[in-house]
Amino acid sequence: MDIKRGQPAPVKTVIIDADHDGQRIDNFLLSHLKGVPRTHVYRLLRTGQVRVNSRRAKPGYKLKLGDSIRVPPVTSRPQQAPPAPTDKRRQLILESIIHEDERLLVLNKPAGLPVHGGSGLSTGLVNLLKVVRCDLAYIELAHRLDRHTSGCLVFAKDRAALLSLHRQFRDGLVDKRYLALVKGRWSGGSRVVDSALGNMRLESGERRVAVEEAGKASATQFIPRALYHDATLVEARPVTGRTHQIRVHAAHIDHPIAGDTKYGEREFNREMRRRGLRRLFLHAHELSLTHPAGGYPIHIQAPLPEALQKILDDHERHEAAL
């Protein structure tokens, strides 16, 4: 568990102030322990070396005003500036901004770009944005999207806005809508899938999410938007926010998402790849929330990427030819 580089810090006791009231303890530690790898931070929590009011705390624990946090000695790596993004990557990030005001910034996140770096992945989107928009004194992620999913991704420009957004996402006050191309011709109208979800680990060590009776309550609404002879474009509205929820629920009702190599159907993916699909067809296309400053509703739309729109156009042409 020792990290060879850098110098160990002494035990610290941190008293939580108003700026960190309501923040998850894992996110607090990740920002507090600069230069310490994410895996090490989570190991400290898992093994009980971090204490909140002299007790163990899970990574999702929400800090409260006045909490006493024991931060153990850790060895940090010397901080290095993130590599400068290429001009192409810099332009991609700037062109992905679809909304910005004094408190919020929203990206149409490109598929394949991880939100956070690490685990062999390239530099994460959060760090890239902080480099590209170095004019911003504060910019923090309000929620997450899977690496392979594109679409609306919200950032806060100050701590108060971040806390407001965290509360809205936590309490189910944000209306999120995704577009997904799924296998098969949909029958009937809107459908709610409420199968509970749990985590499992395969013999290979791979982690997956699966429908489990003893899992966490989960619900996704699917609404058909366009029918094709061998596929359906659906709008998916996650009522809860479990990992890979839309993908697992879609596969569970025999309508796996096109391009899903983890939960999808091999033959369907092969056919979609033959037609030019090179990614997961899942896109966070709409998001509605309450603005953290003015208290008014705000609605944001992220247009489909060209690659996904081309797949739909090809399906339309194929339907017309039948």
Paired tokens of 5: 């580089």
Domain ranges within the chain, ordered by starting residue: 12-71, 87-170, 175-321
Residue 43 CA to residue 74 CA, distance in Å, equals 11
Residue 284 CA to residue 277 CA, distance in Å, equals 17
Position 177 scores a pLDDT of 97
Largest CA-CA distance found in the chain, in angstroms, rounded: 72
Catalytic residue among 26, 67, 146, 260: 146
Across 172-207, b (16+ Cβ under 10 Å) vs e yields eebebbbbbbbbbebeeeebebebbbeeeeeeeeee
- 87-95 vs 125-132: helix crossing angle, rounded to 10: 90
314 has catalytic annotation: no
The amino acid that residue 117 corresponds to is G
Residue 140 CA to residue 21 CA, distance in Å, equals 16
Residue 235 CA to residue 109 CA, distance in Å, equals 18
Paired tokens of 122: 């390239």
Q: What residues form DSSP beta bridges with 228?
A: none
The amino acid that residue 270 corresponds to is R
| Domain covering 175-321 assigned CATH 3.40.50.720 in the classification | no
Q: Where do we find the tokens 């810099």?
A: 90
- The 3 state secondary structure assigned to the chain is CCCCCCCECCCEEEECCHHHCCCEHHHHHHHHCCCCCHHHHHHHHHCCCCEECCECCCCCCECCCCCEEEECCCECCCCCCCCCCCHHHHHHHHHCEEEECCCEEEEEECCCCCCCCECCECCCHHHHHHHHCCCCCCCEECCCCCCCCEEEEEEECCHHHHHHHHHHHHCCCCEEEEEEEEECCCCCCCEEECCCEEEEECCCCCEEEEECCCCECCCEEEEEEEECCCEEEEEEEECCCCCCHHHHHHHHCCCCECCCCCCCCHHHHHHHHHCCCCCCCEEEEEEEEECCCCCCEEEEECCCCHHHHHHHHHHHHHHHHC
CB 282 within 8 A of CB 180: yes
pTM for this predicted structure: 0.77
Paired tokens of 16: 């939580």
Torsion sign (Cα): 65, 68, 72, 78: positive
| CB neighbours of residue 156 within 10 Å | 21
Same fold, 12-71 and 175-321: no
Q: pLDDT of the chain along its 322 residues, tens only?
A: 333 444 555 788 888 887 777 788 988 888 788 778 888 888 899 999 999 999 998 888 988 888 999 998 886 555 555 567 788 889 999 999 999 999 999 999 999 888 876 544 457 888 889 889 999 999 999 998 999 999 999 999 998 999 899 999 988 999 999 999 999 999 999 999 999 999 887 767 778 899 999 999 999 999 999 999 899 999 999 999 898 999 999 999 999 999 999 999 999 999 999 999 999 999 999 999 999 988 999 999 999 999 999 999 988 877 766 5
| Domain covering 12-71 assigned CATH 3.10.290.10 in the classification | yes
Residue 6 CA to residue 73 CA, distance in Å, equals 12
Q: Which CATH class is domain 87-170?
A: alpha beta
Position 38 scores a pLDDT of 82
Residue 259 CA to residue 267 CA, distance in Å, equals 10
Paired tokens of 276: 């030019």
